[in-house]
Structure 1
Amino acid sequence: MGYDFDLDDVAFLRSPEGAGAVAELSRLPLTASSRLADVAAARKLVGPRFAAAALETAVLRRKAGSKLDDAGGWLLTADALQQATASEVARHRAARLAGRDVHDVTCSIGADLHETAKVAARCVGSDLDPVRLEMARHNLAEAAAIVRADALRPVTRGTAVVADPARRDDAGRRRWNPADLVPPLDELLAVYSGRDLVVKCAPGLDFEQVPQEAEVEVVSLAGQVREAALWLGGLAGGVRRRASVLSTGETFTDAESDDCPVLEVGQWVVDPDGAVVRAGLVRHYAARHGLAQIDRRIAYLTGDTPPPGIRAFRVIDHGHYNEKALRALLRRHDVGRLEILVRGLDIDPDALRRRLKLKGAQEATAVLTRIGDAPTMVLTRAERT
């Protein structure tokens, strides 16, 4: 949850005294073990009234460094930082808004709007939280107009609308039901019906609850699926599903061919990026890269040449899976360090690894899956292509 900032805290943090205090506190260790000493230093530096606000800001800025660019002087809350889009993902989304007038109706502290303002013609940010709005004014300076407004009561016309509904409850638990988002997804879609709209959602969103006219884009960064964005109106790209893999710069859509065969395990096994899998574009990915499925229901692919720039798995051996057979296979290949990938089987990789009690000198990856009705194991060596 983090510290609960108020407007007086924000005013202090925006002052020269507050800015200097945060800069001084940022030089402290700011670790769990140094917490008591850090608190004492903060109280000595700024007094008890603003010690917690200044110390929390120093901590949050350090955390933000791995997620947000240019956030060294920003004001943040823990919840806002947690929900903020990573800068590279935000830039990717902003590129589709270039040259437009844009209204971010849930702007929070301005993390997304910071990237959008770099490419948009004009920007407006709004929110209901007065503390976050003051933080956004500080973070964005003159890059966008900041106003207090309810996302469900439009205050602009002719703008492309960006919305990022809150996806966690007061206890920090993730909300999965679109009706439980704040504001609810169906209300957002109704209020901005007919408008150019993009809504940032969690990757676990049930796409069956999304309007048929919407484009669903699943985005990954550094091998992790980061978000699903719904594009509507003139912002939709004429496809139903899109997967954007930022680490390779590739984009896949359901407008492409999905003509790929089903073949026996070949020289390589490829585990497509999570954005491709989540968007349901595994066959499209396979068709583009000349790969085959090993089973129509399973996302693992195979072929003689893996795509460039990915982590792929060179096949060493494979056969019918059970624990006894896997243990024998690992002994035969002197495997002592094992990564276990599972799809289509009810297996806990960590529990299985403990039971195997490996002692060999080699490192390998076991791909455990189902081909037809047969549990199958594929012993591989991970390589960067």
Structure 2
Amino acid sequence: MGYTFTRDDIAYLSSAAGAAALAEVGDVALSSASLLKDLERIRRGHGDRAAALVETVRLRRRATAKLADADDWLFTDDALQQATPSAVARHRAQRLAGRTVHDVTCSIGAELAALAEVCPAVLGSDLDEVRLAMAAHNLGVRKVLLAKADALVPCSTAEVVIADPARRADGRRTHDPAKLQPPLPDLLTAYAGRDLAVKCAPGLDFDTLGWAGEVEVVSLDGAVREACLWSTGLAEPGVTRRATVLSATAAPWTLTDTAPDDIPEREPGEWIVDPDGAVVRAGLVRHYAAKHDLWQLDPRIAYLTGDKVPDGVRGFRILDRMEFREKPLRAELHRRDCGPLEILTRGVDIDPDALRARIKPRGKIPHTLVVTRIGRTATVFLCATP
């Protein structure tokens, strides 16, 4: 759960004395090996403030991989976990550039910081006074109005409403829209007829949700980060599903369900391609395949195959194909002097770590196994590791 901050803590941490103390604690290792001794030292110097200082420093260190310019931000543990990564927040803000926006679950201000760069007027509200105080600190000189308000009670005339319901119920992560905080059905009812963008978990069943607008699934550096529900007024005409792929090292790209999805049925080609998770979660595997002259290994499986690999994508060159049976597979891997072994599975109930332990590869040459289902048959593709 982490330390429970108070408004007094935030006032102190935002002061000159608090900033100096945080700089001092920031130079302390706070590693698992040194933590007890470090805490004793910090308590001697800062008394009752020690816990808030240590928690803030540790959260800032975690935040650097997720948020830009987070070195002087304030967080709670839960707020940091749910905060939108800066790259994703900037992407969403660009879709709303030039509009007035109200973030009705603003928390510590991660979305507001990105919106303030491109929107003429930005309002953030939340019921948690501590998080609002943190947001005020984090936003600094950015022109954002903050207010305490219930997300289910509309209180502004902003052109666009943004919401990010908490995905934990009773201390556990939930994929039930009705158990989000605030509940997603209630949120949609409260802002019916308004332009609305709702950040949510990519694991939600969007088909049963009955959403009439666009569902965008976003990945960042290969990991699926979130889905966003865009109301009809904010969606591109005709688009109901979108995959957006962001990267720190490559240009972003997007794919929608308006793209062609006609692909051939063929035997496996030279390569296997595992599409980005955003493409898979958005249900756009066939659209991606059509765009890159690929086809599916099996119509129900997301692995693709073809005679070339799209630029910037990791592909696995097929060396052999066999029905999945452990004894002949083990013999073939040993024959090939298999050493480091990556195992990818989809559509089969196989634990890659347990399988690797049973195969016991002892050779020198890296290989990759792609274990999947072709029709009713569990099939393994022995591939060269890229």
Q: Is the contact made by 1:311 and 1:382 (CA closer than 8 Å) also made in structure 2? A: no
User: Which residue pairs with 2:319 in the alignment?
Assistant: 316
CA positional deviation for 1:94: 1.2
Q: Is the contact made by 2:10 and 2:130 (CA closer than 8 Å) also made in structure 1? A: yes
User: Which residue pairs with 2:231 in the alignment?
Assistant: 232
Matches within 5 A, 1:154-303: 154-171=154-171, 173-238=172-237, 239-247=239-247, 249-303=252-306
User: Which residue pairs with 2:383 in the alignment?
Assistant: 380
Quick one: which amino acid aligns to residue 81 of structure 1? L
SS in 1 for 2:118: coil
Deviations for 1:92-111, whole angstroms, at most 9, x for unmatched residues? Answer: 11111111111100000001
Q: Which runs of 5+ in 1 are unaligned?
A: none
Quick one: which amino acid aligns to residue 245 of structure 1? V
User: Which residue pairs with 1:351 in the alignment?
Assistant: 354
SS in 2 for 1:63: helix
Quick one: which amino acid aligns to residue 191 of structure 1? A
User: Which residue pairs with 1:137 in the alignment?
Assistant: 136
Identity of aligned residues (%): 58
Q: Is the contact made by 1:214 and 1:232 (CA closer than 8 Å) also made in structure 2? A: yes
User: Which residue pairs with 1:33 in the alignment?
Assistant: 33
How many corresponding residue pairs? Answer: 381
User: Which residue pairs with 1:74 in the alignment?
Assistant: 73
Instruction: Return the TM-score normalized by structure 2.
Output: 0.96
CA positional deviation for 1:343: 1.0
CA positional deviation for 1:377: 1.0
Deviations for 1:61-105, whole angstroms, at most 9, x for unmatched residues? Answer: 111111100011111111100110111111111111111111100
Quick one: which amino acid aligns to residue 63 of structure 2? A
Q: CA–CA distance in 2 between the matches of 1:250 and 1:64?
A: 25
SS in 2 for 1:117: helix
Q: Is the contact made by 2:100 and 2:122 (CA closer than 8 Å) also made in structure 1? A: yes
Q: CA–CA distance in 2 between the matches of 1:170 and 1:320?
A: 45
User: Which residue pairs with 2:19 in the alignment?
Assistant: 19
Instruction: Return the TM-score normalized by structure 1.
Output: 0.97
User: Which residue pairs with 1:150 in the alignment?
Assistant: 150
CA positional deviation for 1:212: 3.8
SS in 1 for 2:224: strand
User: Which residue pairs with 2:42 in the alignment?
Assistant: 42
Quick one: which amino acid aligns to residue 54 of structure 1? L
- What's the Cα RMSD here? 1.2
Q: Is the contact made by 1:21 and 1:45 (CA closer than 8 Å) also made in structure 2? A: no
1:53 maps to 2:52: yes
Quick one: which amino acid aligns to residue 68 of structure 1? L
Quick one: which amino acid aligns to residue 304 of structure 2? L
Deviations for 1:337-363, whole angstroms, at most 9, x for unmatched residues? Answer: 111111111111111110011111110
CA positional deviation for 1:119: 1.2
Q: CA–CA distance in 2 between the matches of 1:342 and 1:241?
A: 25
SS in 1 for 2:56: helix
Quick one: which amino acid aligns to residue 382 of structure 2? L
Q: Is the contact made by 1:107 and 1:125 (CA closer than 8 Å) also made in structure 2? A: yes
Q: CA–CA distance in 2 between the matches of 1:31 and 1:361?
A: 36
SS in 2 for 1:118: helix
CA positional deviation for 1:170: 4.6
SS in 2 for 1:266: coil
Deviates more, 1:20-29 or 1:211-220: 211-220
Deviates more, 1:179-188 or 1:352-361: 352-361
Q: Is the contact made by 1:194 and 1:233 (CA closer than 8 Å) also made in structure 2? A: no
CA positional deviation for 1:142: 3.3
